[in-house]
Amino acid sequence: MAETDCIFCNIIAGEIPSFKLYEDARTYAMMDINPFNDGHCLVITKAHSINLLDADPADLAAVLPAAQIIARAIETALEPEGINIIQANGPAAGQTVYHYHSHIFPRRLNDGALLNWGHAPGDMGKIEEIYNKIMAELG
Ligand code: AMP
Ligand code: ZN
């Protein structure tokens, strides 16, 4: 169901312009208008959901094939040194638009994007404690 005050719902409805790259029954891809690198774009679900947590699994299943189509086109057209697929859920994760979207995020060596973190060894006892909490939810 489209939300009238949602910018991405309005884009899908054609009420706000976008640089549309691709669409299918469940997804819509467009250029991000605040790109970090050249070719930064978004794959969004046509159906409104806030993010991964409430999205329809069938819509999510359509997102990665669409992302692959876009990523392959970027790979050929722009020859980046890498491509991240990034998706934010909630403010601490950096989500600013509350309609599901995955970023297709072309990378350049030393582009300074703060997406990578170090691999310091974890505390196995703590990892197990957290694992048990998550497993209790998975049943
Ligand atoms: P996030 O911060 O992960 O929620 O990503 C939202 C993204 O949507 C940002 O990268 C914005 O630049 C992008 N964005 C916001 N409004 C528009 C728009 N009208 N057209 C294309 N991209 C947009
Ligand atoms: Zn929406």
pLDDT tens string for the chain (139 positions)? Answer: 688 899 999 999 999 999 999 999 999 999 999 999 999 999 999 999 999 999 999 999 999 999 999 999 999 999 999 999 999 999 999 999 999 999 999 999 999 998 777 788 999 999 999 889 889 998 8
* Nearest bound ligand to the CA of residue 15: 1
CA distance 36 to 60: 24
User: Which of 7, 16, 19, 34 is the pocket-test mutation for ligand 1 (most atoms within 8 Å of CB)?
Assistant: 34
User: Is the Cβ atom of 88 under 6 angstroms away from ligand 1?
Assistant: yes
User: Is the Cβ atom of 132 under 6 angstroms away from ligand 1?
Assistant: no
Return the structure tokens found at 54. Answer: 């409430």
CA distance 14 to 1: 15
Spell out the SS3 assignment of 13-34. Answer: CCCCCCCEEEECCCEEEEECCC
pTM for this entry: 0.93
* Domains by residue range for the chain, with CATH: 7-111 (3.30.428.10)
